[in-house]
Amino acid sequence: MSGTEDDPKHGDSEAQEASASEPGMIAKLSHPVNSATAKRTRAATPYADAGVDRDSATLAKERIARIARRSFNRNVLSEIGGFNGQFALDAERYPDPVLVSSTDGVGTKLKIAAAMGLHQSVGSDLVNHCVNDIAVQGATPLFFLDSFASGKIDPEVVECVVSGIVDACKANGCALLGGETAELPGVYVGAEYDLVGFIVGVVSRPRLVTGETIKAGDILIGLPSNGLHTNGYTLARRLLFDVAGYTHDQYVNELKDKVGAALMRGHRSYLSPIKKLIQAEVASGFAHITGGGITENLPRVLPRGICAHVELSKWEPPQIFTHLQQIGSVDRDEMLRTFNMGVGMIAVVPAEKLARARLVLNRMNERFFVMGRVAKGERKVMYS
Q: Is residue 214 part of a domain?
A: no
Cβ-proximal residues to 349 (8 Å cutoff; 6+ apart), any chain? 218, 219, 220, 221, 277, 282, 283, 284, 357
Q: Is residue 233 part of a domain?
A: yes
Note whether 194 and 255 are same-domain residues: no
pLDDT of amino acid 45: 59
Note whether 73 and 145 are same-domain residues: yes
- Write phi, then psi, for 86 (nearest 5 degrees): -125, 135
Note whether 368 and 238 are same-domain residues: yes
Among 160, 179, 207, the domain boundary falls at 207
C-beta of residue 199 within 8 angstroms of C-beta of residue 85: no
Closest-CA residue to 364 (of 280, 261, 258, 308): 280
Note whether 300 and 277 are same-domain residues: yes
Instruction: Determine how β-strand 369-376 pairs with β-strand 219-224.
Output: antiparallel
Q: Is residue 1 part of a domain?
A: no
Note whether 229 and 359 are same-domain residues: yes
Note whether 162 and 247 are same-domain residues: no
Among 162, 183, 207, the domain boundary falls at 207
Note whether 40 and 55 are same-domain residues: no
pLDDT of amino acid 108: 95
Closest-CA residue to 109 (of 91, 95, 124): 124
- pLDDT tens across the length of the chain (384 residues): 344 344 434 444 443 443 334 444 434 434 454 555 445 555 555 776 667 767 777 777 787 888 888 999 999 999 888 899 999 999 899 999 999 999 999 999 999 999 999 999 999 999 999 999 999 999 999 999 999 999 998 989 999 999 999 999 999 999 999 999 888 988 989 889 999 999 999 999 999 999 999 999 999 999 999 999 999 999 999 999 999 999 999 999 999 999 999 999 999 999 999 999 999 999 999 999 999 999 999 999 999 999 999 999 999 999 999 999 999 999 999 999 999 999 999 999 999 999 999 999 999 999 999 999 999 999 999 999
Q: Is residue 173 part of a domain?
A: yes
Cβ-proximal residues to 253 (8 Å cutoff; 6+ apart), any chain? none
Note whether 256 and 238 are same-domain residues: yes
Note whether 151 and 288 are same-domain residues: no
The three-state DSSP-derived secondary structure of 276-325 is HHHHCCCCCEEEECCCCHHHHHHHHHCCCCEEEEECHHHCCCCHHHHHHH
Note whether 143 and 79 are same-domain residues: yes
Helix, strand, coil proportions of the chain in percent (round to 5)? Answer: 40, 20, 40
C-beta of residue 134 within 8 angstroms of C-beta of residue 141: yes
Sign of the CA dihedral with 211 first, then 213, 218, and 219 last: negative
Number of domains in the chain: 3
Among 153, 182, 207, the domain boundary falls at 207
pLDDT of amino acid 41: 54
- CATH assignment at residue 185: 3.30.1330.10
pLDDT of amino acid 72: 92
Note whether 226 and 348 are same-domain residues: yes
pLDDT of amino acid 44: 58
Note whether 88 and 34 are same-domain residues: no
Q: Is residue 122 part of a domain?
A: yes
pLDDT of amino acid 34: 54
Q: Is residue 213 part of a domain?
A: no
Q: Is residue 351 part of a domain?
A: yes
Q: Domain range holding 21? A: 8-44
Q: Is residue 2 part of a domain?
A: no
